[in-house]
């Protein structure tokens, strides 16, 4: 593992990042100081691996900048996206508390800065500070809810409905139009992984929605032409 940068010199930067983590913003300055003292800054370029599924879960990460994705390969070799995270958020925390290996592979979608804390240190801090334990419980609870949504999505919705739902969730209003920027969909393969399907099935679903006038696929973005119609299709 490449050497960590000196964390002491960037203590304030770490605390500023911590203050932006949902559920962590209310932590006392003493707790933030303790976490910052234990954290080290690391940089990853786009496309790099932060950790692999099946590696010992030795570290917890706080995403300060850049996008990451978490994927997991099933026993039959199909890759499923579990999470797409944008700053500021925590990841790698789930398995620290049960002592198992990382359940997924995390890779960077663009250049990323993360704060790294050893799992042992986090466990010590959680035992020492009940408020930190509560913040972590909130975070883990939120993650469970996200996975329940994913299970519902994969088990109860067809590919077209999942596609419509995901497009609506990630659309942004640009010049009066709802668009999904290309950074959300680096490639067709990435889209397929995200939706738990394969490229050909996804391409058919996308073409179907385009043929029905619900969206238009461009080189740098997908324009949602009929959000109401897409909402109806996302329920099927």
- What minimum distance in Å lies between the beta carbon of 75 and another protein? 5
The site for another protein, by CB under 8 A, has a size of 23
Tokens encoding 79: 């890759």
- Residue 70, φ and ψ in degrees, nearest 5: -115, 125
Residue 3 interacting with another protein (CB under 8 A): no
- What minimum distance in Å lies between the beta carbon of 61 and another protein? 15
The binder of another protein chosen from 1, 156, 173, 220 (CB under 8 A) = 1
* Contacts to another protein from residues 101-120, by CB under 8 A: 101-103, 105, 107
Strand, helix or coil at 166?
A: helix
How far is C-alpha 193 from the geometric centre of its chain's CA atoms? Answer: 14
Give the whole-angstrom CA distance, residue 115 versus residue 138: 20
Give the whole-angstrom CA distance, residue 151 versus residue 14: 34
Decide if 89 contacts 22 (C-beta within 8 A): yes
The site map against another protein for 16-55 (x = CB under 8 A) is ------------------------------xxxx-xxxxx
Segment interacting with another protein (CB under 8 A) among 7-15, 68-76, 84-92, 110-118:
68-76
Give the whole-angstrom CA distance, residue 149 versus residue 156: 10
- What minimum distance in Å lies between the beta carbon of 105 and another protein? 6
Residues that bind another protein in the complex, under the rule CB under 8 A? 1-2, 46-49, 51-55, 72-77, 100-103, 105, 107
């Amino acid at each position: 593992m490449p050497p960590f940068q000196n964390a002491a010199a960037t203590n304030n930067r770490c605390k500023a990042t911590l203050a932006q983590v949902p559920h962590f913003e209310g932590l006392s300055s003493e707790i933030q100081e303790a976490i910052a003292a234990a954290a080290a800054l690391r940089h990853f370029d786009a496309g790099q691996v932060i950790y692999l599924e099946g590696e010992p879960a030795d570290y917890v990460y706080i995403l300060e900048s850049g996008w990451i994705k978490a994927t997991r390969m099933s026993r039959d070799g199909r890759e499923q996206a579990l999470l797409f995270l944008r700053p500021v958020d925590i990841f790698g925390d789930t398995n620290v508390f049960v002592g198992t290996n990382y359940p997924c592979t995390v890779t960077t979608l663009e250049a990323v800065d993360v704060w790294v804390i050893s799992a042992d240190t986090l466990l010590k801090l959680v035992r020492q500070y009940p408020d930190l334990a509560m913040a972590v419980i909130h975070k883990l609870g939120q993650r469970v809810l996200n996975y329940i949504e994913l299970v519902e999505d994969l088990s109860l919705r067809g590919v077209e409905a999942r596609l419509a739902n995901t497009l609506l969730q990630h659309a942004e209003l640009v010049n009066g139009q709802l668009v999904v920027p290309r950074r959300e969909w680096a490639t067709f393969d990435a889209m397929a992984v995200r939706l738990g399907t394969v490229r050909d099935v996804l391409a058919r679903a996308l073409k179907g929605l385009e043929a029905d006038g619900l969206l238009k696929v461009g080189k740098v973005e997908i324009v949602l032409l009929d959000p109401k119609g897409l909402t109806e299709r996302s329920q099927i």
